[in-house]
Structure 1
Amino acid sequence: MRIALHCHYRLPVKKYGGTQRRVMWLASALADLGHNVYLLALKGTRCEKAEVIEVRKEDVDLDGIVPDSVDIVHLLQTPNCKVSKPSIYTLAGNNSSGRKLHPNTLYLSRNHAIRHGGKHFVYNGLDPNEYIYSEEKDDYFLYLSRISKYKGIDIAVKLAKDMGFKLVIAGGFWLSLSRKIRCVGKVGGIKKAKLLAGAKALLFPIRWEEPFGNVVIEALVSGTPVITTPHGAMPEIVTPEVGFICRSYEELKTAVENVDSIDPKKCRQRVMENSTAEIMAKNCLKYCERVIQTGHL
């Protein structure tokens, strides 16, 4: 199959950028499965396993840009592009504006689909080779996300102060007078992989309806349990074998106290069986084939 992936990013990204990494993982996995991949992205994009075609942010008419040989276009950022080829669109966030979505819209989880009146979804997947698996944990918990209350940064900090454990904050800066709370800013590459692998657990006490949450599978593939809340896709990803779904502050405290009961092997297994880039690509291909044959999902 000849597949064009379209996004308005310069790829790859070095640090923060879950959606951007998803595009790269998908492109590489599709190519590894034997498909011809065209990556329509901003100037400066590099992808060894795909043919890069430069586009501008203002390019919404893709006819004339997409090669004639392409079988299907997968829109990964802008749903209202003009394209005559069969196409699908993946909604990466929440459609809070209520804008009209592409008729062939894929979502990132079952919860994500249901909340938008849809039913078709493909879980995100990652390349396990980009992460470090470790069963030996250091003496800290990790918060790795945007510094925002809807991501639960204040809850993570309060837990650390109330319970006296060491907390590493990555993803931005948070002013704290506690010696046990350390901010390292935005991280990527080997530094990020080491932080994930060494943490006793990932703290992800979100307050919003998370469509998926790449950082959750990044932690799990590293052998690191996840402590989170029952919002969005979390109950689909975090099972009792790999972490804790907490419905109150007291339950969060209990989870911290019991995190050593989680087997790192189970955490990694959860990702290897459900959320690798190869699995994501194969699931996307099923929908691509359906749209090529019938015109709709």
Structure 2
Amino acid sequence: MRLKPLLDITMITTPWFALPPVAYGGIEAMCAELVDGLVELGHRVTVIGVGSNGTKGRFIATDDSPAGPQRLGNSGPEVLHAARAARVLRSLDSDVIHDHSTVGPLQAGQRQAPTVVTAHGPVSGETGRYYRALSDTVHMVAISRAQQAQTPDIFWSGQVHNALRTGDYPYRDRKEDHVLFLGRIAEEKGVHLAIDAAREAGLPLTIAGSRNDPAEQPYIEGELRPRMGDDVRWVGEADRRTKLELLASARCLLFPIQWEEPFGMVMIEAMACGTPVVALRRGSVPEIVEEGVTGFICDHPAELAKAIGSLDRLDPRACRDRVHRHFDTDQMAAAYAALYQQLCQERPRSEPAAHMTPLLH
């Protein structure tokens, strides 16, 4: 098949949040950025989503309103969204389908166009087994090299880091005397370690994050509440404006994760604002943070406070420059477009694809 310079791309998002999301919604935020980046490259992008459209692509809704965070994990919205998306797909002439839903990829074997699936979260346990079961009908994309390394038995068609539009983030080189934790209030995120490190370093900590998961209540009561004090401010879940103000003003973002997180979006959000990251060496952290330049990577929680005390050695401009060079929407869109072009060349899906070059950024 002759390679088309411009493609007809169909982007299927989730039923949970609109594009872009108002607050929570990491997958949807990534999708919105990718759609706009692909359109700016000249490709024709049709988005199958829910609610209203905030992207530059053509939009077809499977439902008038998003299901919302209260229904996350409920199979009903996913199944209905997949069924309606399948009907829409039959009316489209797609060169490639990028499916971010959970149920939708099950239909990839019946689609004429290749289906790309980005592994947005962990690829262990049931999720990993699901991706392995899909591997002969979809093209898997990892969001970090760390994620690929955790599951070498899954064939990965490529690897593309998530990204953001650097210019949408406010840059500040003069910081205030507080450090920040921004994310889910969960044990695996290491919020208690952030409190301990900030206190030992003698700086107040601002915690911004939701605590809606009932399963985390024992952790909150047992580990966090006893640590609270005048030097810890818990502001709850931050809207975008508040989040950007906090990211830009903090002396650093604390990211003491306790699991192999495949990609910590908040790290590049902080660096885009000129704010360095102090993190533990887990998951994708070494791919994102440049040690001694855009932050400090620690091997043990006891090292975090000392790293906070060394922040004056870092240049805020270097943080923003790294995001612009490596984690901007333009790079992500170009990488996905190159992968789409590869997949649109005629070749049986069952043919070994060792010649396909992973897209490493």
TM-score tier after normalising by the smaller chain length:
over 0.9
1:69 is displaced (CA, Å) by: 2.2
Q: Identify the match of residue 246 of structure 1 among 285, 298, 302.
A: 298
Gaps of 5+ in 2: 1-6, 64-77, 212-223, 350-355, 357-361
Segment drifting more, 229-238 vs 9-18 = 9-18
Q: Deviations over 1:173-214 (max 9, x none)?
A: 564541111011111222111110100000000011111110
5 Å-filtered alignment, 1:129-278, equals 129-172=167-210, 175=225, 177-240=228-291, 241-278=293-330
Counting matched residue pairs gives 296
5 Å-filtered alignment, 1:46-195, equals 46-55=53-62, 57-58=78-79, 59-61=81-83, 62-66=85-89, 67-78=91-102, 79-82=105-108, 83-96=111-124, 97=126, 98-101=128-131, 102-103=134-135, 104-117=139-152, 118-119=155-156, 120-172=158-210, 175=225, 177-195=228-246
- For 2:320 and 2:346, how far apart are their aligned partners in 1? 37
Q: Which amino acid aligns with 1:5?
A: M
- For 1:214 and 1:18, how far apart are their aligned partners in 2? 8
Partner of 2:121, secondary structure, is coil
Identity in percent: 32
- Over aligned residue pairs, what C-alpha RMSD do you find? 1.7
- For 1:261 and 1:138, how far apart are their aligned partners in 2? 16
Gaps of 5+ in 1: none
2:52 equivalent in structure 1: 45
1:86 is displaced (CA, Å) by: 1.5
Whether contact under 8 Å (1:144, 1:215) holds in the other structure is yes
- For 2:186 and 2:308, how far apart are their aligned partners in 1? 21
TM-score normalised according to structure 1 size: 0.94
Segment drifting more, 101-110 vs 167-176 = 167-176
1:63 is displaced (CA, Å) by: 4.2
Q: 1:160 to 1:63 in 2, by over 3 A?
A: closer
Q: Identify the match of residue 44 of structure 2 among 27, 36, 47.
A: 36
Partner of 2:21, secondary structure, is coil
Q: 1:238 to 1:152 in 2, by over 3 A?
A: same
Whether contact under 8 Å (1:125, 1:276) holds in the other structure is yes
- For 1:285 and 1:177, how far apart are their aligned partners in 2? 47
Whether contact under 8 Å (1:92, 1:108) holds in the other structure is yes
Choose between structure 1 and 2: higher helix proportion: 2
TM-score normalised according to structure 2 size: 0.78
Q: 1:94 to 1:294 in 2, by over 3 A?
A: farther
Whether contact under 8 Å (2:14, 2:28) holds in the other structure is no
